[in-house]
Amino acid sequence: MSVLDEVLAANKSYVESFGDKGELALPPARQFAILTCMDARLDPAKYAGLSEGDAHVIRNAGGRASDDAIRSLVISYKLLGTKEWFVIHHSDCGMEFFTDESIRGLLSKSLETASLGPDGFFDVGKGPGSNEGAFIDWLTISDTQRAVVEDVERVRRHPLVPSGIAIYGYVYDVRSGALVEVREATKAGAAK
């Protein structure tokens, strides 16, 4: 069953109360960006106190510093003036529940949605699958805090990222809503 009608009805209500939001400036008013996970339990606007127009929010599976995420951060800085960046992963992330090898195996058998059991993801669908998953680095996570450090370090080392941008590393706790600093990451991302 599709949610299309619900989304369009919600949008209609949103349009009715849109007000002067059409006048917001293109650059983010608070001059910062957040790289975080696409997990539906995370609402960066709420956990970071954002209103429309305040900050750039870049989301992907795991909140990883992929080439595309770094591309977005560089555009955020170079063209739109952000001065600080947050890399925010979270507890209980789905990217911890599989490996590159396991998702490649699942995709090679079936393109239908897999199920999650006590021993990880397993296929419930029928083929055909595809071996194209072998060519993707899925950026899975085995240690959340370590992944935050690695991502901040990767962004910091990137030749298109100026040393004057502060990069902070945090883990969002899905049980409490708290942002927990990963000090090693924030230290690695300090502006120079």
Structure confidence by residue, pLDDT tens digits, 67-111: 999 999 999 999 999 999 999 999 999 999 999 999 999 999 999
* 104 torsion bin: left (phi>0), alpha (psi -120 to 50), beta (else): alpha
Neighbours of 188 (CB within 10 A): 20
The residue extents of the domains of the chain are 25-97+140-192, 99-137
State the pLDDT at residue 126: 87
Distance CA 52, CA 29 (A): 9
Q: Is the pTM of this model over 0.85?
A: yes
Q: Among positive and negative, which fits the CA dihedral 104, 174, 188, 162? A: positive
State the pLDDT at residue 185: 98
DSSP for 137-162 reads -----S-HHHHHHHHHHHHHH-TTS-
Q: Is 3.40.1050.10 the CATH classification of the domain at 25-97+140-192?
A: yes
Is there a contact between 150 and 183 (Cβ–Cβ < 8 Å)?
no
Q: Which residues pair with 85 in a beta bridge?
A: 33, 167
List, for residues 129-174, the tens digit of each pLDDT value.
999 999 999 999 999 999 999 999 999 999 999 999 999 999 999 9
Distance CA 71, CA 189 (A): 17
State the pLDDT at residue 1: 72
The angle subtended at Cα 32 by Cα 186 and Cα 10, nearest 5°, is 120
Distances (CA, A) of 176 to 80, 108, 161, 167: 33, 38, 33, 23
Q: What is the mean pLDDT of the chain?
A: 96
